[in-house]
Structure 1
Amino acid sequence: MAILLGVDTGGTYTDAVLMRDEAQVIASSKALTTRSDLAIGVTEAVRAVLTQSSIAPGEIALASLSTTLATNALVEGQGGRVALIYIGFPTGDLERNGVAEAVNGDPLLVLSGGHSHAGSEAAPLDVAALDRFLADLEPVSGFAVASQFATRNPAHELEAARIITARTGVPVTCSHQLSARLNGPKRAVTAVLNARLIGMIDALIGRAQAGLIDLGIDAPLMVVRGDGALMSAEQARARPIETILSGPAASIVGARWLTGTEEALVSDIGGTTTDVALLRDGRPALDPDGARVGGFRTMVEAVAMRTSGLGGDSQVHPLREGLAGGVILGPRRVLPVALIAQETPDLVHATLDAQLRATAPGEYDASFVRAVSGQPSNGLNPRDALLLERIGTGLQPLGAVIRNRIDKSALRRLVDRGLVQLAGATPSDAAHVLGRVDVWDGAAAQKALTLIARKRSGSGQRLATDAAALANMIVDQMTEQTSLTLLESAFAEEVPGFDTSPSELVGNKLLHAGLNHHRGLLAFDTWLNIDVVGLGAAARCYYPAVGKRLGCRMVLPEHSDVANAIGAVVGRVTIRRIGTMTSPAAGQFRVHLESGPEDFTSPDEALDHLETLLRAQAKSEVMQAGAEGIQITVWREVNSAPVEAREIIVEAQITVEASGRPRIATH
C-alpha cells in the first residue's frame, strides 16, 4: 500500500500529513512557516510526521504541495517588480480594465502591433520601441506580454518574448499561454500577476524539493492548482498564477474527504484569509468568470470561492472615529505579538514594558517591524531604500524607525513589495489572552492588548477597560466579520433572485435585525439554511460562535486543521486545453493555433484537426505532469446563425480534458 505525503504552506503554519493510499491518515503535524525560507517549515512538519509514524523516508511514494502563498501575496498586494509589454491596445484600456491597477506603478510599455479577431496582423510589431525600452529599463523580476487578440494569433507575443529573453534572460509570461479566451486586458492582468508571482513560487517549490531531498524523500512532487487538480512542480514554476487559491481548493477537496458531505458551505480560516466555497453534489463549483483574488478578476480556472482578508493573524485596527469605538480586522496580516515575543523575547518585553510605563498611549504601541531576509530590493526609490536600511536586519519597535508621514508611505510600499513584515495585535493574541490557545507567549499578548485598550475612541473614552475586555471585543468582531463573509457567499449563489449585490445585501439593516432576532411590531429572524464545514487551525477557536450567530449547524471534522494537506494528496492530475475555430468568410474555416491560423474549406475537417491537436497536447502535458491511467473527455460548443434558411457555423470551441491519478514512485 502506497504512503502519500501532503504538505500545505500557509501564512502562519505549514501542515503535513501522511496517508496510506487515500483511505487513512497515519500522522499529521504543524510547524511555523518561515517567510524568508519556506523550506524550514516544510522540513520541520515533514520530519515530525515521519517521527510520529516511524515511516522511513524512502517509503513515501508521492509528495504533493498546496499553498496559500500566491493567494496571500495578491491579497496583500505583494510580489516582485515586473514590466508589462502591452501590444496593440488603446491606451484608454489601461484604466478601464484594471490593467494599470495591476501594474501598480511598475514599468509599462504600450506598443503598436497586435492582430484582428480573425488572426490577421493589425499593425507591425514596433521592435525598435521595445529595444529602446529594454535598454533603459532598471532590473525587474519578470515580464508580462499581452497582445491584442493573441489567442487568435500569438505571433507578436512570442516575438516580444523572444527579444526580451535574448536581451535580459528574465522570465517572460505570455498572456495566450495562460488562457485561450478573449478579453485581452483581462489576460494582461493575469499575465502581470503571473510574472509577479514567478519568483515567489519558484523559491517555494525549489526550497521545498531541497528540504524533502535532505530528509531522504525522492518521490515525485505535485502541486495543487486553483481548481483542486494537481500539476507537476515544473508546470507550477512556469504558471504560478494557476496556484492562486491552491490552498483553499485543496481544503475543499479535503473537506469532502473528511466529511463525505454532499452540500455545505466550506469555510477555511488561515492566518491571512478566510476562504468560502460551496460544495454541491459533492463537488466544488468552478468560477465561470475566472478566479477573483485581491480585487483582481483573473482568467485562471479555479474553484468559485470568495476570499476575504480575515484570519487569525489579521491586523487589529482600533476605531478612533465615532463615539462608540470598537475594532475592525484585516485585511493585512501581521505577525502576532505573542509569536515574535517567543522568537525575540528580550526586545519585545522590554519595549512593551517601556510603553506601558508611558503616561499616554503612543501611536505605535505594540507594533514592530523587521526586514524579510533574502528578498531582492532592486528598483527602490531613495526614500524607501533609506527606510529599509534604517530597519536593518533585526526586529525593531515601529516607533523607532517611523519619523514622519513620508516614512509611513515608504513603509507601506516596502510591505507591499514583501521586503518587510509588520507585527502587532491580532485575534491570535486575543485568543492567548482569553486562554483559548497557549502555543506562544501569552504574557506578551496580555501586555500588547493592555496597550491597545488604553487608546481613546472619538468620545474620549478608553477603547476597553483591560486586555480581557479588548480580547472579547476582538473575538466578537471576528465572529461578526466571519458571519458576514459566509452570508455574502450564500447571497452570491442566489444573487440572480435579488436586484442588489451580495455586499449590499449583507449591509442591509433588516438582515442585521434578523440576525439579532428583532422583536417589536415586526419580528425578524435570519439564519443560514445550510451546514458549514469549518476548517483551519483557528476554526475550533472561533467557529462555534459563528454557527450560533448564523443559526446553522457548524461541522468541525477530525483533522480539520490539516484539511489542506489532506486535499493535496487525494486529487487528480488534470489538464484542460481549449481551441477555437472561426469563419472569417463564407466557406472558410480558420483554426487558431500556437503556430498561427490554419484555414480549411470544411468545418468538420477543421474541428477534427483541432481536436486531434488538442488531444495530443493535453495527453502529452498530463503525462509530463506525472499522471497514469489517463482518461480523455472532449466537449464541442458550436455557435451558428441562420442565413438564407440554413444554419451557418460562426464560431466553435473545443475543450479537451485529460486526467489521471498521479504516478507514484516504486522503491
Structure 2
Amino acid sequence: MAEQLLLGIDTGGTYTDAVLYSETHGVVARAKALTTRHDLSVGISGAVEAVLEQAKAAVSAIGLVSLSTTLATNALVEGQGGRAGLVMIGFGPDDLKRDGLADALGNDPVLFLPGGHNVHGNETPLDMTALDEALPTLSQTVSSFAVAGYFAVRNPAHEQRVRDRIREVSHLPVTCSHELSSKLGGPRRALTTLLNARLVSMIDRLIGACEDYLTRRGIHVPMMVVRGDGALISAAEARLRPIETILSGPAASLVGARHLTGLDNAVVSDIGGTTTDVAVLDGGRPKLDAEGAVVGGYRTMVEAVAMRTFGLGGDSEVRINDRGLKAKIDLGPRRFLPLSLASALHPDAILPVLERQIRTPHVGRHDGRFAVRTGVPERLASGLQPQEQALYDKIGAAPLPLDGLLVTTLQKATLDRLVARGLVHLCGITPSDAMHVLGGQGQWDAAAARLGLELAARTKDGTGRPIAESPDVLARLIVDRLTRQSADVILSACLADDGVGTLDPANSISIDRALHRVPGIVTFRVALDRPLVGLGASAPVYYPDIAEMLGAESSIPADAGVANAVGAVVGQVRAIVTVFVTMPEDGVFIVNGAGDSVRLIDEAAAFSLAKERAVTAALHSARTNGADEPVVTLSEEIDAPEVEGSRKLVEARFTATASGRPRIADEA
C-alpha cells in the first residue's frame, strides 16, 4: 500500500507555503505562492498545486491537511481586526481600567449587565434589559460579539444565556470567556475574549478558503490547525476559538525547527514579512509562557510558546527621521506592501508614478507611497465614519499614489485608521526592496525598488544634504538597520528569558559597543550560549550577518523557508482540562468545571468526581480535536493549609492532559 502523504500549509502575511511530508522520507516537495488577501484560496491553491506538481503526487495520496498561520498574530501586532461588541456581566466601568482592557477596546462598544456569579458558582440575578434595547442597532455596526461574565469559569450559565440571545437576534459570531480559559482574572479573560471576537471573521475566512479549495480538488481528509502552544486542533474548533491560533505560525516554526535541525538547545528566530518571532528551545521542547501569550502589547490568557513577537520583517515600513543633523532609519512595526511586489502585481499603477515623482525637482512628502484596498469582504467595512467612508470609496483594487489621494493633513490620520481596520494596505519602500536593489532578492520588480529608494535617498537631513548619495547606499543602510534591530530583538527575548528583561539592548551603550566590536581599554563582548536557528524565506539572506553580530553559530536548515508548514504536519493534538473543588463551608464541597456544578458532603468523593470529569473531558476534547488514540496524564494541586490545628481546603485543581497524533484518512 502506498504511503499516505501529509499536506502542511502555512499562510503568512506575504507568502503561503505548502509542503508534502512523508513520515518515512521527510519533506517530499515544497512551494510558495503569494498570500492573496482578497481571496485566500488563490494563494493556497497556488502553493498546493505547485507541490503536487513537484512531487508528481495524486490528491488521493493525501491523508491529512494541517494549517498554520500568522494572520491572527499579524492582525494583533498591527492593531487590526473586525469591530467587536463587548458584553460584561457583573462587571463595572472601573474594570475596563485593568489589564489594558480599555486600551484594547478602543472605540468598540461595551455593554454592562447586572449578573454574574461568586467563586463557588452561586449567581447574582441576570438582567438582559439593556442588551435587548441595544441589540437591534448594535448588531448593524459590529462583526462579532465577546461576552465575559463575573466568575464565569465557575458557572458559565449567564454567559450562555447572553450568547444565545445575541445569536438569536443578530446571527453574528459570539465568543464566551469560559470557552477560552479556566483561569481566574475577569478583565484579562474579557480582553482575551474581545481579541478572539475580532479575529473570528479573519480565521473563518482562512479556514473556509482552505476547505473550499480542498473540496474543489476532491481532498476529503481531516483538517487540523496549529495552536499557539504547537499542538494541533481540528479546523472546526479553531473557528470557534481563533485566539488560540495567535502564535500558531511561530509555534509551528519551533516544532519545524526542532524537526529540521535536530537541535535540542537553540535560539530560534523566524523572520516573516511582518514580524520576527523569537523563542528558546531547551532540552528539545519549546518553553511555554505560563502567564499567557503577549501579542501586540497585550497579555492574553492563551497558553502558547514563550515566544516574543516583534513588528520587524522583510516588509516592514522604512521610517526615516530627518529632523536631526544625521538622518535616522527605523523599521516597523507596520507592514507595507513592498514597491517591488506592488509593481509586480500592478506594473501600470506604480512605475509611471515613480518616474513622474523622480522628474520633479523638489521632494514630496508622500513620494513613493501608495494606498490599495486589501480586498476583504465589504461587510467588514461596516461602522466607518463619514470621512473614513469617503476616503475608502476613493481607494480601489489598484494602488493610488498618496500625493494625489491625500488633499489635507487630516486625511492622513483617516487613512491610518483604514489601515488599522485591515481595509487598506500602504505601499512603500521596505527591506525587501533594499534587497532587490542589492541583488539579495529578485523575485519581484527590482526597477520599482530602485526608483523608490532613489526617491527616498533625496530626503534631506538637518544639514540640508540628501540622506544617501545613491539607492545602493540607502539599501545598505536599511539592511544594516534590519541586522541591528534583529540582533536587538533576539537579545531582548533572550535577556527576558534569563530574567534580565529590564535591560533594553536598543538603548544600552554597553551592548552597542559589544555588538559593533568597538575597541577600547575596556572591551565589551556579547554572545549566545547556543546556536541561532534562522527561519523564514529571507533567513539565508539576513541571518548569517545577524548570527555573526551576536557571536553565535548560525544554523539555517535547508527547508528554513517552509519550517512552519513542516511543523504543521509533525505536531500532536493536545487537550488540557482543569476541574476545581472548593469548600464554601465546613463539610460542603463544590465541584466546578467540565459540566454543571455539583455539591457533595464528602471530600474524597468530590476529588474522585473531579479527577474522573477532568480525564473524561480531556479525552473527549482530544478526540473532538482529531486525535487518533490519545493518552492521558493527570496532575493535581491541593491548596489546604492548617488553620488553628485543622486542615482547611481552599481549592483543589485536577488537570488532565490528553495527547496523540491526528487521525489520518484511510486510503480508499
* TM-score, with structure 2 as normaliser: 0.97
Equivalent residue letter for 2:192: T
SS at match of 1:628: coil
CA contact (8 A) 2:37 2:376 kept: no
Mapped partners of 2:149, 2:573: distance in 1: 30
Determine if contact 1:271/1:333 at 8 Å carries over to the other structure: yes
TM-aligned CA distance change 1:278 to 1:361, over 3 Å: same
Alignment of 1:370-519 (within 5 A): 370-375=372-377, 376=379, 377-495=381-499, 498=500, 501-502=501-502, 504=504, 507-519=507-519
Q: Please tell me the residue identity of whatever aligns with 1:130.
A: L
Write the distance in 2 (CA, Å) between the matches of 1:331 and 1:533.
23
1:154 aligns with 2:186: no
The answer to which of 246-255 and 504-513 deviates more is 504-513
Separation in 2, partners of 1:106, 1:173: 15
**2:279 corresponds to which residue?**
277
Q: Counterpart in 2 of 1:135?
A: 136
Contact persistence 2:594–2:614 (CA under 8 A): no
Measured in 1, the distance between the counterparts of 2:160 and 2:307 equals: 33
Q: CA deviation at 1:632?
A: 0.7
Q: Measure the CA separation in 1 of the matches of 2:234 and 2:198.
A: 20
Give the Cα–Cα distance (whole angstroms) in 2 for the partners of residues 159 and 204 of structure 1. Answer: 29
Aligned to 2:11: 9
Give the counterpart letter for 2:527 in structure 1: W
Is 1:488–1:502's contact at 8 Å kept on the other side of the alignment?
Answer: no
Q: 1:607 deviation in Å? A: 1.8
Q: Closer, same or farther in 2 for the Cα pair 1:502/1:258, shift >3 Å?
A: farther
Cα distance in structure 1, aligned partners of 2:427 and 2:232: 34
Q: Which residue of 1 aligns with 2:231?
A: 229
Letter paired with 1:251: S
d(CA) in 2 for partners of 1:509, 1:589: 58
Displacement after TM superposition at 1:177 (Å):
0.8
Correspondence list, 1:106-121, <5 A: 106-121=108-123
Q: What residue is the counterpart of 2:103 in the other structure? A: 101
* Aligned-partner residue type, residue 622 of structure 2: V
SS at match of 1:629: coil
Q: Distance in 1 between matches of 2:543 and 2:375?
A: 35
Q: Which amino acid aligns with 1:359?
A: P
Q: Give the deviation of 1:648 after TM superposition.
A: 2.5
Q: Report SS of the residue matched to 1:662.
A: coil
More displaced stretch, 592-601 vs 349-358: 592-601
**Which residue, out of 227, 239, 242, partners 2:241?**
239
Amino acid at match of 2:128: V
- Residues 519-598 of structure 1 mapped to structure 2, 5 A cutoff: 519-593=519-593, 595-598=595-598
Cα distance in structure 1, aligned partners of 2:397 and 2:507: 44
1:35-92 CA distance string (max 9 Å, x none): 1111111101110010011110111111110000100111111111110001212311
User: How far does residue 240 in structure 1 lie from its aligned partner after superposition?
Assistant: 0.4
Match of 2:643 in 1: 643
Q: Pick the aligned partner of 1:196 from 195, 198, 205.
A: 198
Unaligned runs of 5+ in 2: none
Distance 2:86 2:149 in 1: 11
Shift of the 560–505 alpha-carbon distance from structure 1 to 2, 3 Å rule, reads closer
Matched residues in 2 for 1:594 and 1:170: separation? 26
Q: Which residue of 2 aligns with 1:627?
A: 627
Shift of 1:439: 0.5
Distance 1:404 1:503, change over 3 A: farther
- The alpha-carbon deviation at position 262 of structure 1 amounts to 0.7
Equivalent residue pairs, number? 662
Identity across aligned pairs (percent)? 48
1:118 positional shift: 2.2
1:58 correspondence with 2:94: no
- 1:250-273 deviations in whole A, cap 9, x for unaligned? 000000000110101000000000
Give the corresponding residue for 2:51. Answer: 49
2-structure distance, mates of 1:372, 1:552: 39
Output the CA distance in 1 between the equivalents of 2:317 and 2:432. 10
Contact 2:163 2:174 in 1 (8 A): yes
CA contact (8 A) 1:487 1:506 kept: no
Match of 1:311 in 2: 313
Distance 1:635 1:595 in 2: 19
CA contact (8 A) 1:517 1:526 kept: no
Q: Does residue 322 of structure 2 align to residue 327 of structure 1?
A: no
Q: Residue 130 of structure 2 aligns to which amino acid in structure 1?
A: A
Q: Shift of the alpha carbon at 1:521?
A: 3.1
The RMSD of aligned alpha carbons is: 1.3
Which amino acid is the alignment partner of residue 160 of structure 1? V
Aligned to 1:268: 270
- How big is the shift at 1:595? 5.0
- Report the counterpart of residue 600 of structure 2 in structure 1: 600
Q: 2:78 is matched with which residue: 41, 52, 76?
A: 76
CA apart distance, 1:483: 0.1
Cα deviation for residue 519 of structure 1 reads 3.0
**1-structure distance, mates of 2:535, 2:401:** 34
Q: Per-residue CA shift, 1:409-435, capped at 9, x if unaligned?
A: 111111111111111100000000000
Q: C-alpha separation between the residues in 1 aligned to 2:320 and 2:508?
A: 24
Residue type matched to 1:452 in 2? A
**C-alpha separation between the residues in 2 aligned to 1:546 and 1:79?**
32
Alignment of 1:286-297 (within 5 A): 286-297=288-299
Tell me how far apart the structure 2 counterparts of residues 504 and 264 of structure 1 sit (CA, whole Å): 22
Matched letter for residue 96 of structure 1: R
Q: Matches of 1:547 and 1:325 in 2, distance apart?
A: 27
Q: Which amino acid aligns with 2:187?
A: P
In structure 2, distance between residues paired with 1:136 and 1:358: 50
Tell me the distance in 2 between the aligned counterparts of 1:190 and 1:78: 15
State the 1:523 CA deviation.
2.1
Give, in angstroms, the shift of residue 655 of structure 1.
Answer: 1.0
State the 1:588 CA deviation: 1.5
- Give the superposition deviation at 1:518: 3.3
After superposition, the C-alpha distances for 1:479-514 in whole angstroms (9 at most, x for unaligned) are 00000011011101111xx4xx34535522122222
Query: Which one is further off, 9-18 or 575-584?
Result: 575-584
The farther-off stretch of 444-453 and 94-103 is 94-103
After TM superposition, the score normalised by the length of structure 1 is: 0.97
> Structure 1: which 5+ runs fail to align?
none
The one-letter code matched in structure 2 to 1:260 is G
Paired letter, 1:125: L
Deviation at 1:589, TM superposition (A): 1.3
1:633 partner letter: T
How far apart, in 2, do the equivalents of 1:542 and 1:374 lie? 32
